[in-house]
């Protein structure tokens, strides 16, 4: 009996030593951050900013791998199936939650296939239009769109994209069935808007700021509860009487389920340090957003947000009856 006890003790000590060794040595090589969208898009921009700073904190390079397609689910599936060793992680946005309803058949169980690491940032959305769109301000925009909904076109970056989700909320708030035109990504959608082939769009500040400041598109409102410092003259949607158009594109980092807790903790710590860096805050501010506070850049905070957003979007998507599969 004593021998069994000693064996159990040895096993416990061995496990403790292994855990300690991992905590001290991880990471020993480069880490791949999968961004499930095309290079150059708003999520890719956030991923590269954060990945570079986290690399400094971890002492190993984080390389970004763009795996686009199927509204972000192809890249997410690749991470879900990856070895859970801390060397493959995923940066995804609000689509991580909405895909649970948008796709009636996913190749993974969202709440079971991933370990959460932390929230990164929440990007505001803007209601924008081609530069020569007729309405002069948001009040006029609301009246004009309601009256001419059947002749107005609204671009999005594809079903499940942030611009698609925001567009659904915009139509719901306006009670107007606008003609929507999906594109293969944010870039082509913005190109058509700038070129005047499309009338309106609802998209992230990380994608619209440069165009708004350059005057190539017209901005009408932001989708946050308060006005943005970047665009103090732009009203909020609620100021214009549009209730329910309160949406930000939150981004979080995930790892495959089963990733050792020590690796999760190390990644979360590196994320918090990166977000606390003034240079990151300045770069994100130029994109109209801000780093998540330390208390949100944690596994628990992201897990809570993911669960809440799945439940928030489920009835909205089901009511629209538009699915990606």
Instruction: Decide: 316 and 98 in contact? Cβ < 8 Å.
Output: no
Q: What is the dihedral of CA 292, 293, 298, 301, to 10 degrees?
A: -80
- Residue ranges of the domains in the chain? 29-123+248-320, 124-240
Q: In the chain, which residue ranges form alpha helices assigned H by DSSP?
A: 2-25, 42-58, 73-80, 95-102, 110-113, 138-148, 162-174, 186-195, 205-214, 261-275, 278-286, 299-320
CATH 3.40.47.10 fits 124-240, yes or no: no
What are phi and psi for residue 181, nearest 5 degrees? -125, 105
DSSP code at position 287: T
Equal fold, 29-123+248-320 vs 124-240: yes
Residue bearing tokens 């020569």: 132
pLDDT tens, residue order, the chain (325 aa): 555 455 555 444 444 444 445 556 999 999 999 999 888 888 899 999 999 999 999 999 999 999 988 889 999 999 999 999 999 999 999 999 999 999 999 999 999 999 999 999 999 999 999 999 999 999 999 999 999 999 999 999 888 888 998 999 999 899 999 999 998 888 899 999 999 999 999 999 988 999 999 999 999 999 999 999 889 999 999 998 888 898 899 999 999 999 999 999 999 999 999 999 999 999 999 888 899 999 999 999 999 999 999 999 999 889 888 788 8
Q: How far apart are CA 178 and CA 207, in angstroms?
A: 22
Q: In 196-298, which residue ranges form alpha helices assigned H by DSSP?
A: 205-214, 261-275, 278-286
Residues near 63 by beta carbon (within 8 Å), at least 6 away in sequence: 30, 31, 32, 33, 51
Would you give the distance in Å from CA 83 to the centre of its chain? Answer: 23
Predicted local distance difference test score (pLDDT) of residue 319: 85
Predicted local distance difference test score (pLDDT) of residue 23: 55
Considering the four listed CATH numbers 3.40.190.150, 3.30.70.3270, 3.40.50.2000, 3.40.50.300, the one that applies to the domain covering 29-123+248-320 is 3.40.190.150
Beta strand spans in the chain (E): 31-35, 62-66, 88-92, 114-130, 153-156, 179-182, 200-204, 217-222, 248-256
């Amino acid at each position: 009996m004593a021998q069994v006890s000693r064996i159990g003790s040895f096993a416990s000590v061995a496990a403790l030593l292994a855990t300690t060794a991992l905590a001290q040595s991880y990471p020993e090589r480069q880490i791949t951050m999968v961004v499930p969208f095309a290079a150059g898009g708003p999520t890719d921009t956030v991923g590269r900013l954060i990945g570079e700073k986290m690399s400094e904190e971890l002492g190993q390079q984080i390389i970004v791998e763009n795996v686009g397609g199927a509204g972000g689910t192809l890249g997410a599936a690749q991470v879900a199936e990856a070895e859970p060793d801390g060397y493959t992680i995923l940066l995804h946005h609000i689509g991580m939650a909405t895909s649970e309803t948008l796709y009636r058949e996913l190749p993974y169980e969202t709440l079971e296939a991933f370990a959460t690491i932390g929230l990164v940032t929440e990007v505001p959305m803007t209601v924008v239009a081609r530069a020569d769109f007729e309405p002069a301000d948001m009040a006029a925009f609301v009246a004009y769109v309601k009256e001419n909904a059947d002749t107005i076109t609204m671009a999005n970056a594809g079903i499940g994209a942030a611009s698609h989700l925001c567009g659904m909320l915009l139509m719901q708030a306006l009670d107007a069935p606008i003609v929507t035109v999906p594109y293969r990504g944010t870039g082509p959608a913005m190109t058509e808007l700038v070129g005047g082939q499309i009338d309106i769009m609802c998209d992230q500040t990380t994608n619209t700021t440069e165009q708004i400041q350059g005057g190539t598109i017209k901005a009408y409102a932001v989708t946050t509860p308060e006005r943005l410092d970047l665009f103090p003259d732009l009203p909020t949607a609620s100021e214009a009487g549009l209730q329910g158009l309160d949406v930000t594109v939150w981004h979080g980092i995930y790892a495959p389920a089963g990733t050792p807790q020590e690796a999760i903790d190390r990644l979360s710590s590196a994320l918090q340090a990166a977000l606390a860096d003034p240079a990151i805050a300045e770069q994100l501010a130029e994109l109209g957003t801000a780093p998540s506070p330390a208390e949100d850049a944690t596994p628990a905070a992201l897990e809570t947000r993911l669960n809440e957003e799945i439940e928030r979007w489920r009835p909205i998507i089901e009511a629209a009856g538009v699915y990606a599969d």
